[in-house]
Homo-oligomer: A and B are copies of this chain.
Amino acid sequence: MALRVRKNRATVPADVERAPGCPLNRCMELLSGAWAAHILWFLSVQPRRFSELRLDIPAISARVLSQRLRELEAKGVVSRTVMPTSPPSVEYALTELGRELYPVIAAIAAVGRKLSAAAAKSPQAQRKRLLARR
């Protein structure tokens, strides 16, 4: 009664790219960091000022929000406009490139809502999540 021998496995389809600069990476690097998705989400609703974003995302510190916005700006996803008002205000908005990301953010939000709903009912999932954060 010999053990079964491992079957040879099919390879993944060729259209799934694996290069370090592959599409998946190309998009993920725009979303990297714990806050980028949130910032883009709120900016996708409407252009926002710095302090408005701080209220939108209370848990983020000014330093990190600043850093993230600068990064997103450098990546061409977010535009920064200084408004000639008194006191001065700065408006952040999605660029055309940034708007391309909308489907992703929307999908994240949609799935997140589903997960929230599911978690509310399933004590098992909650236990798992507790274990996950050790």
- Which A residues are within 8 Å of any B CB, using their own CB? 2-6, 9-10, 12-13, 16, 18, 20-28, 30-32, 34, 37-38, 41-42, 45-46, 48-49, 52, 56-59, 71, 74-76, 83-87, 89, 97, 100-101, 103-104, 106-116, 118-119, 125, 128-129, 131-132
Q: Are A13 and B85 in contact (CB under 8 A)?
A: no
Q: Tell me the interface secondary structure of chain A in the complex.
A: helix
- Complex: A97 Cα to B112 Cα, angstroms: 11
Q: Are B112 and A25 in contact (CB under 8 A)?
A: yes
7 sampled A-B residue pairs with Cβ under 8 A: A5-B85, A22-B112, A27-B111, A74-B128, A97-B125, A101-B111, A106-B107
Q: Are A84 and B3 in contact (CB under 8 A)?
A: yes
- Complex: A45 Cα to B104 Cα, angstroms: 19
Minimum distance in angstroms from A95 CB to a CB of chain B: 10
Query: Which B residue's beta carbon lies closest to that of A96?
Result: B118
Q: Are A56 and B12 in contact (CB under 8 A)?
A: yes
Chain B residues positioned under 8 Å from A125 (CB to CB)? 76, 97
Chain B residues positioned under 8 Å from A112 (CB to CB)? 22-28
5 other A-B residue contacts (CB within 8 Å) besides A18-B57, A25-B38, A74-B128: A16-B42, A16-B45, A23-B116, A27-B109, A75-B132
Chain B residues positioned under 8 Å from A42 (CB to CB)? 12, 16
